[in-house]
Structure 1
Amino acid sequence: MAASLIGVPAAALRQAGRLFALGATVLALTFRRPFQFRELVEQFWFIAGVTIVPTALVTIPFGAIISLQVGSLTQQLGAQSFTGGASVLAIIQQASPLIVALLISGVAGSAICADIGSRKIREEIDAMEVLGVSPVQRLVVPRVWACVVVAVLLNGLVSVVGVAGGYFFNVLMQNGTPGAYLSSFSALAQLPDLYVSEFKALLFGFIAGVVASYRGLNPASGPKGVGDAVNQAVVITFLLLFFVNAVLTAIYLQIVPPKGG
Protein backbone atom coordinates (compact mmCIF):
# COMPACT_ATOMS: atom_id res chain seq x y z
CA MET A 1 0.00 0.00 0.00
CA ALA A 2 2.77 2.41 0.99
CA ALA A 3 4.74 1.52 -2.15
CA SER A 4 1.75 2.28 -4.34
CA LEU A 5 1.25 5.67 -2.64
CA ILE A 6 4.91 6.52 -3.19
CA GLY A 7 4.67 5.45 -6.81
CA VAL A 8 1.96 8.02 -7.64
CA PRO A 9 4.07 11.17 -7.10
CA ALA A 10 7.07 9.43 -8.68
CA ALA A 11 5.06 8.71 -11.83
CA ALA A 12 3.76 12.29 -11.84
CA LEU A 13 7.31 13.62 -11.60
CA ARG A 14 8.39 11.42 -14.49
CA GLN A 15 5.50 12.69 -16.61
CA ALA A 16 6.36 16.29 -15.72
CA GLY A 17 9.99 15.70 -16.65
CA ARG A 18 9.03 14.23 -20.00
CA LEU A 19 6.73 17.18 -20.65
CA PHE A 20 9.49 19.69 -19.95
CA ALA A 21 11.88 17.61 -22.05
CA LEU A 22 9.46 17.79 -24.99
CA GLY A 23 9.26 21.57 -24.61
CA ALA A 24 13.07 21.82 -24.63
CA THR A 25 13.22 19.54 -27.67
CA VAL A 26 10.73 21.74 -29.52
CA LEU A 27 12.90 24.80 -28.85
CA ALA A 28 16.04 22.96 -30.01
CA LEU A 29 14.46 21.55 -33.18
CA THR A 30 12.99 24.93 -34.14
CA PHE A 31 16.41 25.99 -35.43
CA ARG A 32 17.19 22.71 -37.19
CA ARG A 33 16.60 22.34 -40.90
CA PRO A 34 14.37 21.51 -42.61
CA PHE A 35 11.74 23.59 -40.85
CA GLN A 36 8.20 22.54 -41.79
CA PHE A 37 7.04 26.00 -42.91
CA ARG A 38 4.15 24.71 -45.02
CA GLU A 39 2.82 22.68 -42.09
CA LEU A 40 3.17 25.77 -39.89
CA VAL A 41 1.05 27.86 -42.28
CA GLU A 42 -1.60 25.15 -42.59
CA GLN A 43 -1.85 24.76 -38.82
CA PHE A 44 -1.90 28.53 -38.37
CA TRP A 45 -4.91 28.91 -40.66
CA PHE A 46 -6.66 25.97 -39.04
CA ILE A 47 -6.17 27.25 -35.48
CA ALA A 48 -7.07 30.82 -36.41
CA GLY A 49 -10.16 29.65 -38.27
CA VAL A 50 -11.56 27.64 -35.37
CA THR A 51 -10.71 30.15 -32.61
CA ILE A 52 -11.18 33.68 -33.93
CA VAL A 53 -14.99 33.77 -33.86
CA PRO A 54 -15.42 32.04 -30.44
CA THR A 55 -12.71 34.29 -29.01
CA ALA A 56 -14.45 37.46 -30.17
CA LEU A 57 -17.83 36.24 -28.93
CA VAL A 58 -16.46 35.30 -25.51
CA THR A 59 -14.52 38.55 -25.15
CA ILE A 60 -17.56 40.86 -25.45
CA PRO A 61 -19.49 39.54 -22.41
CA PHE A 62 -16.25 39.05 -20.49
CA GLY A 63 -15.27 42.68 -21.00
CA ALA A 64 -18.80 43.75 -20.10
CA ILE A 65 -18.72 41.77 -16.83
CA ILE A 66 -15.39 43.26 -15.79
CA SER A 67 -16.47 46.78 -16.69
CA LEU A 68 -19.82 46.49 -14.89
CA GLN A 69 -18.30 44.92 -11.79
CA VAL A 70 -15.46 47.44 -11.57
CA GLY A 71 -17.87 50.30 -12.31
CA SER A 72 -20.20 49.19 -9.54
CA LEU A 73 -17.32 48.96 -7.08
CA THR A 74 -15.88 52.37 -7.99
CA GLN A 75 -19.33 53.94 -7.65
CA GLN A 76 -19.60 52.59 -4.11
CA LEU A 77 -16.17 54.00 -3.28
CA GLY A 78 -16.83 57.33 -4.95
CA ALA A 79 -14.06 56.81 -7.51
CA GLN A 80 -16.06 56.36 -10.68
CA SER A 81 -13.52 58.37 -12.66
CA PHE A 82 -11.06 55.46 -12.32
CA THR A 83 -13.41 52.88 -13.85
CA GLY A 84 -11.80 52.99 -17.28
CA GLY A 85 -8.24 52.52 -16.05
CA ALA A 86 -9.10 49.66 -13.69
CA SER A 87 -11.21 47.87 -16.29
CA VAL A 88 -8.61 48.21 -19.03
CA LEU A 89 -5.79 46.97 -16.82
CA ALA A 90 -7.82 43.94 -15.76
CA ILE A 91 -8.72 43.12 -19.36
CA ILE A 92 -5.26 43.61 -20.88
CA GLN A 93 -3.11 42.11 -18.13
CA GLN A 94 -5.28 39.21 -16.99
CA ALA A 95 -8.40 38.47 -19.00
CA SER A 96 -7.06 38.80 -22.53
CA PRO A 97 -4.16 36.28 -22.45
CA LEU A 98 -6.17 33.81 -20.36
CA ILE A 99 -9.19 33.90 -22.69
CA VAL A 100 -6.96 33.34 -25.71
CA ALA A 101 -5.02 30.50 -24.08
CA LEU A 102 -8.11 28.72 -22.77
CA LEU A 103 -9.81 28.82 -26.16
CA ILE A 104 -6.69 27.69 -27.99
CA SER A 105 -6.29 24.84 -25.52
CA GLY A 106 -9.94 23.83 -25.58
CA VAL A 107 -10.52 24.16 -29.33
CA ALA A 108 -7.18 23.88 -31.13
CA GLY A 109 -5.25 21.94 -28.48
CA SER A 110 -7.85 19.19 -28.34
CA ALA A 111 -7.76 18.90 -32.14
CA ILE A 112 -3.97 18.71 -32.14
CA CYS A 113 -3.98 16.06 -29.42
CA ALA A 114 -6.60 14.00 -31.24
CA ASP A 115 -4.72 14.27 -34.56
CA ILE A 116 -1.35 13.22 -33.16
CA GLY A 117 -2.96 10.59 -30.92
CA SER A 118 -4.77 8.99 -33.84
CA ARG A 119 -1.50 8.88 -35.77
CA LYS A 120 0.11 7.21 -32.77
CA ILE A 121 -2.44 4.43 -32.40
CA ARG A 122 -2.34 3.85 -36.19
CA GLU A 123 1.45 3.41 -35.77
CA GLU A 124 2.22 6.29 -38.15
CA ILE A 125 4.54 7.81 -35.52
CA ASP A 126 6.45 4.53 -35.25
CA ALA A 127 6.71 4.33 -39.03
CA MET A 128 8.19 7.84 -39.16
CA GLU A 129 10.79 6.90 -36.56
CA VAL A 130 11.70 3.76 -38.53
CA LEU A 131 12.21 5.91 -41.63
CA GLY A 132 14.49 8.25 -39.69
CA VAL A 133 11.99 11.14 -39.58
CA SER A 134 11.62 12.94 -36.26
CA PRO A 135 7.91 13.09 -35.36
CA VAL A 136 8.62 16.01 -33.04
CA GLN A 137 10.27 18.04 -35.80
CA ARG A 138 7.73 17.02 -38.44
CA LEU A 139 4.49 17.26 -36.45
CA VAL A 140 4.98 18.90 -33.07
CA VAL A 141 7.20 21.91 -33.82
CA PRO A 142 4.95 23.53 -36.47
CA ARG A 143 1.83 22.94 -34.37
CA VAL A 144 3.36 24.45 -31.24
CA TRP A 145 4.57 27.56 -33.04
CA ALA A 146 1.25 27.91 -34.84
CA CYS A 147 -0.41 28.02 -31.41
CA VAL A 148 2.10 30.66 -30.31
CA VAL A 149 1.57 32.91 -33.34
CA VAL A 150 -2.22 32.66 -33.16
CA ALA A 151 -2.19 33.33 -29.41
CA VAL A 152 -0.12 36.50 -29.81
CA LEU A 153 -2.28 37.83 -32.64
CA LEU A 154 -5.58 36.93 -30.99
CA ASN A 155 -4.42 38.58 -27.78
CA GLY A 156 -4.34 41.92 -29.56
CA LEU A 157 -7.84 41.31 -30.92
CA VAL A 158 -9.17 40.34 -27.51
CA SER A 159 -7.63 43.42 -25.90
CA VAL A 160 -9.25 45.75 -28.42
CA VAL A 161 -12.65 44.04 -28.31
CA GLY A 162 -12.61 43.79 -24.50
CA VAL A 163 -11.68 47.44 -23.99
CA ALA A 164 -14.29 48.58 -26.55
CA GLY A 165 -16.95 46.40 -24.93
CA GLY A 166 -16.10 47.68 -21.47
CA TYR A 167 -16.28 51.27 -22.73
CA PHE A 168 -19.65 50.67 -24.37
CA PHE A 169 -21.26 49.04 -21.33
CA ASN A 170 -19.81 51.55 -18.88
CA VAL A 171 -21.05 54.54 -20.85
CA LEU A 172 -24.40 53.02 -21.83
CA MET A 173 -25.46 51.15 -18.67
CA GLN A 174 -23.66 52.91 -15.84
CA ASN A 175 -23.91 56.50 -17.07
CA GLY A 176 -20.16 56.84 -17.29
CA THR A 177 -18.66 59.66 -19.32
CA PRO A 178 -16.46 58.90 -22.32
CA GLY A 179 -13.91 61.49 -21.27
CA ALA A 180 -13.49 60.08 -17.76
CA TYR A 181 -13.16 56.52 -19.09
CA LEU A 182 -10.44 57.46 -21.58
CA SER A 183 -8.58 59.82 -19.27
CA SER A 184 -8.35 57.23 -16.47
CA PHE A 185 -7.20 54.69 -19.04
CA SER A 186 -4.35 56.93 -20.20
CA ALA A 187 -3.52 57.89 -16.60
CA LEU A 188 -3.10 54.33 -15.27
CA ALA A 189 -2.17 52.14 -18.25
CA GLN A 190 1.37 51.94 -19.65
CA LEU A 191 3.18 50.10 -22.42
CA PRO A 192 4.67 47.41 -20.14
CA ASP A 193 1.10 46.30 -19.43
CA LEU A 194 0.70 45.45 -23.11
CA TYR A 195 4.15 43.87 -23.27
CA VAL A 196 3.44 41.51 -20.38
CA SER A 197 0.07 40.65 -21.90
CA GLU A 198 1.69 39.65 -25.19
CA PHE A 199 4.42 37.71 -23.38
CA LYS A 200 1.79 35.83 -21.41
CA ALA A 201 -0.07 35.00 -24.63
CA LEU A 202 3.15 33.75 -26.23
CA LEU A 203 4.03 31.57 -23.25
CA PHE A 204 0.48 30.29 -22.80
CA GLY A 205 0.26 29.36 -26.49
CA PHE A 206 3.54 27.48 -26.20
CA ILE A 207 2.33 25.60 -23.11
CA ALA A 208 -0.98 24.70 -24.77
CA GLY A 209 0.76 23.38 -27.88
CA VAL A 210 3.37 21.37 -25.97
CA VAL A 211 0.87 19.78 -23.58
CA ALA A 212 -1.52 18.85 -26.40
CA SER A 213 1.31 17.35 -28.44
CA TYR A 214 2.74 15.47 -25.45
CA ARG A 215 -0.56 13.83 -24.61
CA GLY A 216 -1.10 13.04 -28.27
CA LEU A 217 2.26 11.29 -28.45
CA ASN A 218 1.54 9.26 -25.31
CA PRO A 219 -2.05 8.01 -25.41
CA ALA A 220 -3.33 4.73 -24.06
CA SER A 221 -4.16 2.08 -26.62
CA GLY A 222 -7.29 2.37 -28.71
CA PRO A 223 -9.69 5.22 -29.52
CA LYS A 224 -10.70 5.48 -25.85
CA GLY A 225 -7.08 6.20 -24.99
CA VAL A 226 -7.02 9.06 -27.47
CA GLY A 227 -10.22 10.50 -26.02
CA ASP A 228 -8.81 10.29 -22.51
CA ALA A 229 -5.59 11.96 -23.71
CA VAL A 230 -7.60 14.88 -25.15
CA ASN A 231 -9.41 15.40 -21.84
CA GLN A 232 -6.18 15.18 -19.89
CA ALA A 233 -4.46 17.66 -22.21
CA VAL A 234 -7.17 20.27 -21.69
CA VAL A 235 -7.25 19.84 -17.90
CA ILE A 236 -3.46 19.88 -17.52
CA THR A 237 -3.18 22.98 -19.71
CA PHE A 238 -5.81 24.82 -17.66
CA LEU A 239 -3.99 24.05 -14.41
CA LEU A 240 -0.61 25.10 -15.80
CA LEU A 241 -2.00 28.31 -17.29
CA PHE A 242 -3.50 29.55 -14.04
CA PHE A 243 -0.37 28.65 -12.07
CA VAL A 244 2.00 30.31 -14.56
CA ASN A 245 -0.27 33.36 -14.78
CA ALA A 246 -0.13 33.82 -11.00
CA VAL A 247 3.67 33.57 -11.00
CA LEU A 248 4.11 35.98 -13.93
CA THR A 249 1.69 38.50 -12.42
CA ALA A 250 3.50 38.45 -9.07
CA ILE A 251 6.88 38.93 -10.77
CA TYR A 252 5.56 41.72 -13.01
CA LEU A 253 4.04 43.66 -10.13
CA GLN A 254 7.33 43.45 -8.23
CA ILE A 255 9.52 44.51 -11.16
CA VAL A 256 7.41 47.13 -12.98
CA PRO A 257 6.19 50.00 -10.79
CA PRO A 258 2.67 51.32 -11.38
CA LYS A 259 2.36 54.40 -13.54
CA GLY A 260 3.02 57.47 -11.49
CA GLY A 261 4.53 55.37 -8.70
Structure 2
Amino acid sequence: MSTSLLKPVVRTFEGAGGFFSLGAATVRDTLRRPFQWRELVEQFWFVASVTILPAALVSIPFGAVIALQVGSLAGQLGAQSYTGGASVLAVVQQASPLIVALLIAGAGGSAICADLGARKIREELDAMAVMGVSPVQRLVVPRVLAVTAVSVLLNGLVSVVGTLGGYFFNVMLQHGTPGAYLSSFSALAQLPDLYISEVKALLFGFLAGLVAAHRGLSPKGGPKGVGDAVNQSVVVTFLLLFLVNVVLTAVYLQLVPQKGA
Protein backbone atom coordinates (compact mmCIF):
# COMPACT_ATOMS: atom_id res chain seq x y z
CA MET A 1 0.00 0.00 0.00
CA SER A 2 2.75 2.41 0.92
CA THR A 3 4.62 1.61 -2.30
CA SER A 4 1.56 2.40 -4.42
CA LEU A 5 1.16 5.71 -2.64
CA LEU A 6 4.78 6.63 -3.23
CA LYS A 7 4.71 5.96 -6.97
CA PRO A 8 2.93 9.22 -7.92
CA VAL A 9 5.33 11.18 -5.71
CA VAL A 10 8.33 9.49 -7.30
CA ARG A 11 6.98 10.15 -10.81
CA THR A 12 6.40 13.79 -9.91
CA PHE A 13 9.98 14.26 -8.74
CA GLU A 14 11.31 12.38 -11.76
CA GLY A 15 9.29 14.62 -14.08
CA ALA A 16 10.49 17.75 -12.31
CA GLY A 17 14.08 16.54 -12.50
CA GLY A 18 13.74 15.80 -16.21
CA PHE A 19 12.21 19.23 -16.79
CA PHE A 20 15.07 21.08 -15.06
CA SER A 21 17.62 18.85 -16.80
CA LEU A 22 16.10 19.68 -20.19
CA GLY A 23 16.11 23.37 -19.29
CA ALA A 24 19.81 23.25 -18.42
CA ALA A 25 20.59 21.32 -21.61
CA THR A 26 18.62 23.85 -23.68
CA VAL A 27 20.52 26.81 -22.23
CA ARG A 28 23.82 25.00 -22.72
CA ASP A 29 23.12 23.90 -26.31
CA THR A 30 21.98 27.41 -27.25
CA LEU A 31 25.65 28.41 -27.18
CA ARG A 32 26.85 25.41 -29.16
CA ARG A 33 27.59 25.50 -32.84
CA PRO A 34 26.28 25.03 -35.45
CA PHE A 35 23.17 26.95 -34.53
CA GLN A 36 19.99 25.98 -36.40
CA TRP A 37 19.04 29.38 -37.81
CA ARG A 38 16.73 28.03 -40.50
CA GLU A 39 14.81 25.92 -38.02
CA LEU A 40 14.54 28.92 -35.71
CA VAL A 41 13.07 31.15 -38.43
CA GLU A 42 10.61 28.45 -39.55
CA GLN A 43 9.39 27.82 -36.01
CA PHE A 44 9.20 31.56 -35.29
CA TRP A 45 7.03 32.13 -38.33
CA PHE A 46 4.80 29.16 -37.51
CA VAL A 47 4.20 30.17 -33.89
CA ALA A 48 3.65 33.82 -34.82
CA SER A 49 1.23 32.96 -37.63
CA VAL A 50 -1.02 30.85 -35.39
CA THR A 51 -1.05 33.24 -32.41
CA ILE A 52 -0.87 36.84 -33.63
CA LEU A 53 -4.51 37.20 -34.74
CA PRO A 54 -6.05 35.35 -31.75
CA ALA A 55 -3.85 37.36 -29.37
CA ALA A 56 -4.99 40.67 -30.87
CA LEU A 57 -8.66 39.64 -30.82
CA VAL A 58 -8.59 38.27 -27.28
CA SER A 59 -6.82 41.35 -25.91
CA ILE A 60 -9.74 43.63 -26.88
CA PRO A 61 -12.36 42.03 -24.60
CA PHE A 62 -9.78 41.58 -21.86
CA GLY A 63 -8.94 45.28 -21.91
CA ALA A 64 -12.62 46.16 -22.12
CA VAL A 65 -13.63 43.98 -19.16
CA ILE A 66 -10.81 45.33 -17.00
CA ALA A 67 -11.63 48.93 -17.88
CA LEU A 68 -15.35 48.47 -17.29
CA GLN A 69 -14.83 46.72 -13.95
CA VAL A 70 -12.26 49.21 -12.72
CA GLY A 71 -14.38 52.10 -13.96
CA SER A 72 -17.43 50.77 -12.12
CA LEU A 73 -15.53 50.36 -8.85
CA ALA A 74 -13.84 53.73 -9.24
CA GLY A 75 -17.24 55.35 -9.79
CA GLN A 76 -18.57 53.84 -6.58
CA LEU A 77 -15.56 55.18 -4.68
CA GLY A 78 -15.61 58.57 -6.35
CA ALA A 79 -12.22 58.02 -8.00
CA GLN A 80 -13.18 58.02 -11.69
CA SER A 81 -10.05 59.97 -12.56
CA TYR A 82 -7.87 56.94 -11.74
CA THR A 83 -9.69 54.54 -14.05
CA GLY A 84 -7.21 54.90 -16.89
CA GLY A 85 -4.10 54.33 -14.82
CA ALA A 86 -5.48 51.32 -12.95
CA SER A 87 -6.86 49.74 -16.13
CA VAL A 88 -3.70 50.17 -18.18
CA LEU A 89 -1.46 48.89 -15.39
CA ALA A 90 -3.65 45.80 -15.01
CA VAL A 91 -3.49 45.14 -18.75
CA VAL A 92 0.25 45.75 -19.12
CA GLN A 93 1.48 44.06 -15.94
CA GLN A 94 -0.92 41.14 -15.62
CA ALA A 95 -3.25 40.45 -18.53
CA SER A 96 -0.94 40.95 -21.49
CA PRO A 97 1.87 38.47 -20.64
CA LEU A 98 -0.62 35.86 -19.46
CA ILE A 99 -2.80 36.17 -22.57
CA VAL A 100 0.21 35.77 -24.85
CA ALA A 101 1.65 32.84 -22.91
CA LEU A 102 -1.65 30.97 -22.70
CA LEU A 103 -2.34 31.38 -26.42
CA ILE A 104 1.18 30.32 -27.30
CA ALA A 105 0.90 27.28 -25.03
CA GLY A 106 -2.47 26.33 -26.49
CA ALA A 107 -1.58 26.85 -30.14
CA GLY A 108 2.18 26.80 -30.69
CA GLY A 109 3.15 24.73 -27.66
CA SER A 110 0.67 21.96 -28.38
CA ALA A 111 1.89 21.74 -31.99
CA ILE A 112 5.52 21.58 -30.84
CA CYS A 113 4.66 18.86 -28.33
CA ALA A 114 2.79 16.82 -30.95
CA ASP A 115 5.63 17.18 -33.47
CA LEU A 116 8.33 16.08 -31.03
CA GLY A 117 6.12 13.30 -29.68
CA ALA A 118 5.48 11.94 -33.17
CA ARG A 119 9.22 11.99 -33.88
CA LYS A 120 9.83 10.18 -30.61
CA ILE A 121 7.44 7.30 -31.23
CA ARG A 122 8.80 6.93 -34.79
CA GLU A 123 12.26 6.61 -33.18
CA GLU A 124 13.62 9.54 -35.18
CA LEU A 125 15.14 11.06 -32.05
CA ASP A 126 16.89 7.80 -31.19
CA ALA A 127 18.27 7.64 -34.75
CA MET A 128 19.58 11.21 -34.42
CA ALA A 129 21.31 10.33 -31.15
CA VAL A 130 22.92 7.26 -32.75
CA MET A 131 24.28 9.45 -35.56
CA GLY A 132 25.79 11.85 -33.02
CA VAL A 133 23.21 14.62 -33.52
CA SER A 134 21.80 16.10 -30.34
CA PRO A 135 17.98 16.23 -30.51
CA VAL A 136 18.03 19.05 -27.97
CA GLN A 137 20.38 21.20 -30.04
CA ARG A 138 18.75 20.32 -33.36
CA LEU A 139 15.05 20.44 -32.43
CA VAL A 140 14.41 21.73 -28.93
CA VAL A 141 16.60 24.85 -28.86
CA PRO A 142 15.13 26.49 -32.03
CA ARG A 143 11.59 25.79 -30.88
CA VAL A 144 12.05 27.12 -27.36
CA LEU A 145 13.83 30.25 -28.60
CA ALA A 146 11.16 30.83 -31.26
CA VAL A 147 8.35 30.59 -28.70
CA THR A 148 10.24 32.92 -26.35
CA ALA A 149 10.85 35.53 -29.05
CA VAL A 150 7.24 35.46 -30.25
CA SER A 151 6.01 35.83 -26.67
CA VAL A 152 8.10 38.96 -26.11
CA LEU A 153 7.05 40.57 -29.38
CA LEU A 154 3.37 39.72 -29.07
CA ASN A 155 3.32 41.09 -25.54
CA GLY A 156 3.83 44.60 -26.89
CA LEU A 157 1.04 44.15 -29.43
CA VAL A 158 -1.40 42.80 -26.84
CA SER A 159 -0.56 45.61 -24.42
CA VAL A 160 -1.32 48.26 -27.03
CA VAL A 161 -4.50 46.63 -28.32
CA GLY A 162 -5.76 45.88 -24.81
CA THR A 163 -5.10 49.45 -23.71
CA LEU A 164 -6.94 50.85 -26.73
CA GLY A 165 -9.86 48.48 -26.10
CA GLY A 166 -10.11 49.60 -22.50
CA TYR A 167 -9.91 53.26 -23.52
CA PHE A 168 -12.65 52.87 -26.12
CA PHE A 169 -15.10 51.07 -23.84
CA ASN A 170 -14.46 53.37 -20.89
CA VAL A 171 -15.05 56.50 -22.96
CA MET A 172 -17.97 55.16 -25.01
CA LEU A 173 -19.91 53.10 -22.46
CA GLN A 174 -19.04 54.69 -19.13
CA HIS A 175 -18.81 58.24 -20.48
CA GLY A 176 -15.29 58.70 -19.17
CA THR A 177 -13.29 61.67 -20.39
CA PRO A 178 -10.34 60.94 -22.67
CA GLY A 179 -8.15 63.50 -20.93
CA ALA A 180 -8.72 62.02 -17.47
CA TYR A 181 -8.06 58.49 -18.76
CA LEU A 182 -4.73 59.45 -20.31
CA SER A 183 -3.63 61.75 -17.50
CA SER A 184 -4.22 59.11 -14.82
CA PHE A 185 -2.23 56.63 -16.86
CA SER A 186 0.73 58.99 -17.16
CA ALA A 187 0.46 59.83 -13.46
CA LEU A 188 0.57 56.22 -12.23
CA ALA A 189 2.53 54.29 -14.87
CA GLN A 190 6.31 54.07 -15.01
CA LEU A 191 8.91 52.35 -17.16
CA PRO A 192 9.51 49.45 -14.71
CA ASP A 193 5.89 48.44 -15.29
CA LEU A 194 6.71 47.83 -18.93
CA TYR A 195 9.98 46.11 -18.01
CA ILE A 196 8.30 43.62 -15.69
CA SER A 197 5.71 42.91 -18.38
CA GLU A 198 8.44 42.05 -20.89
CA VAL A 199 10.34 39.99 -18.32
CA LYS A 200 7.18 38.03 -17.62
CA ALA A 201 6.58 37.49 -21.34
CA LEU A 202 10.18 36.33 -21.80
CA LEU A 203 10.02 33.88 -18.90
CA PHE A 204 6.50 32.68 -19.71
CA GLY A 205 7.43 32.02 -23.33
CA PHE A 206 10.54 30.10 -22.31
CA LEU A 207 8.58 27.99 -19.83
CA ALA A 208 5.78 27.30 -22.33
CA GLY A 209 8.25 26.13 -24.96
CA LEU A 210 10.23 24.08 -22.46
CA VAL A 211 7.16 22.31 -21.05
CA ALA A 212 5.94 21.50 -24.57
CA ALA A 213 9.36 20.12 -25.52
CA HIS A 214 9.68 18.13 -22.30
CA ARG A 215 6.31 16.44 -22.70
CA GLY A 216 6.92 15.89 -26.41
CA LEU A 217 10.19 14.08 -25.71
CA SER A 218 8.61 11.66 -23.25
CA PRO A 219 5.32 10.28 -24.61
CA LYS A 220 4.18 6.82 -23.54
CA GLY A 221 1.86 4.41 -25.31
CA GLY A 222 2.19 5.28 -28.99
CA PRO A 223 -0.12 7.79 -30.68
CA LYS A 224 -2.43 7.88 -27.67
CA GLY A 225 0.55 8.79 -25.53
CA VAL A 226 1.30 11.72 -27.83
CA GLY A 227 -2.25 13.01 -27.42
CA ASP A 228 -2.01 12.65 -23.66
CA ALA A 229 1.34 14.46 -23.70
CA VAL A 230 -0.19 17.39 -25.61
CA ASN A 231 -3.01 17.70 -23.07
CA GLN A 232 -0.56 17.46 -20.19
CA SER A 233 1.71 20.11 -21.67
CA VAL A 234 -1.12 22.63 -21.93
CA VAL A 235 -2.43 21.96 -18.41
CA VAL A 236 1.03 21.98 -16.80
CA THR A 237 1.94 25.19 -18.63
CA PHE A 238 -1.21 26.95 -17.40
CA LEU A 239 -0.58 25.95 -13.78
CA LEU A 240 3.10 26.85 -13.94
CA LEU A 241 2.49 30.24 -15.51
CA PHE A 242 -0.05 31.31 -12.91
CA LEU A 243 2.29 30.23 -10.11
CA VAL A 244 5.29 32.05 -11.58
CA ASN A 245 3.15 35.13 -12.22
CA VAL A 246 2.22 35.35 -8.54
CA VAL A 247 5.88 35.08 -7.50
CA LEU A 248 7.11 37.67 -10.01
CA THR A 249 4.34 40.12 -9.14
CA ALA A 250 5.00 39.81 -5.41
CA VAL A 251 8.76 40.32 -5.87
CA TYR A 252 8.22 43.30 -8.20
CA LEU A 253 5.83 45.07 -5.85
CA GLN A 254 8.25 44.57 -2.96
CA LEU A 255 11.36 45.77 -4.80
CA VAL A 256 10.04 48.56 -7.03
CA PRO A 257 8.30 51.50 -5.30
CA GLN A 258 5.11 52.45 -7.06
CA LYS A 259 4.82 55.87 -8.61
CA GLY A 260 3.34 58.40 -6.24
CA ALA A 261 3.92 56.15 -3.20
What TM-score, normalized by structure 2, do the two folds share?
0.99
Aligned to 1:162: 162
CA distance in 1, matches of 2:6, 2:38: 46
CA displacement 1:14-44 (0-9 Å, x = unmatched)? 1101101101110111001011011000000
Aligned to 1:186: 186
Q: Does 2:215 correspond to 1:206?
A: no
CA distance in 2, matches of 1:4, 1:66: 46
Q: Partner of 2:226: helix, strand, or coil?
A: helix
Q: What amino acid is aligned across from residue 111 of structure 1 in structure 2?
A: A
CA distance in 2, matches of 1:229, 1:14: 16
Q: What amino acid is aligned across from residue 70 of structure 1 in structure 2?
A: V
Aligned to 2:9: 9
Shift of the alpha carbon at 1:182? Answer: 0.2
Q: What amino acid is aligned across from residue 71 of structure 2 in structure 1?
A: G
CA distance in 1, matches of 2:246, 2:175: 33
Q: Does 2:152 correspond to 1:147?
A: no
Aligned to 1:229: 229
Q: What amino acid is aligned across from residue 229 of structure 1 in structure 2?
A: A
Instruction: For structure 1, list consecutive stretches of 5 or more residues without a partner in the other structure.
Output: none
Q: What amino acid is aligned across from residue 194 of structure 2 in structure 1?
A: L
Cα RMSD after superposing both structures? 0.5
CA distance in 2, matches of 1:14, 1:221: 18
CA distance in 2, matches of 1:57, 1:88: 17
Shift of the alpha carbon at 1:50? Answer: 0.3
CA displacement 1:160-184 (0-9 Å, x = unmatched)? 0000000000000000000000000
Q: What amino acid is aligned across from residue 221 of structure 1 in structure 2?
A: G
Shift of the alpha carbon at 1:136? Answer: 0.4
CA distance in 2, matches of 1:90, 1:52: 21
Q: What amino acid is aligned across from residue 221 of structure 2 in structure 1?
A: S
Instruction: For structure 2, list consecutive stretches of 5 or more residues without a partner in the other structure.
Output: none
Q: What amino acid is aligned across from residue 32 of structure 2 in structure 1?
A: R
Q: Partner of 2:105: helix, strand, or coil?
A: helix
Q: Partner of 2:220: helix, strand, or coil?
A: coil
Shift of the alpha carbon at 1:9? Answer: 1.1
Aligned to 2:119: 119
- Within a 5 Å distance, the mapping from 1:67-86 to structure 2 comes to 67-86=67-86
Between the two proteins, the alignment pairs up a number of residues equal to 261
Q: What amino acid is aligned across from residue 198 of structure 1 in structure 2?
A: E
Mean Cα deviation higher: 238-247 or 1-10: 1-10
Aligned to 2:96: 96
Shift of the alpha carbon at 1:11? Answer: 1.5
CA distance in 2, matches of 1:20, 1:58: 32
CA displacement 1:84-139 (0-9 Å, x = unmatched)? 00000000000000000000000000000000000001110111001000000000
Aligned to 1:255: 255
CA distance in 1, matches of 2:225, 2:3: 26
Q: What amino acid is aligned across from residue 123 of structure 2 in structure 1?
A: E
Shift of the alpha carbon at 1:7? Answer: 2.2
CA displacement 1:55-85 (0-9 Å, x = unmatched)? 0111001110000000000000000000000
Shift of the alpha carbon at 1:221? Answer: 2.5
CA distance in 2, matches of 1:188, 1:20: 38
Runs of 4+ in structure 1 off by over 6 angstroms are: none
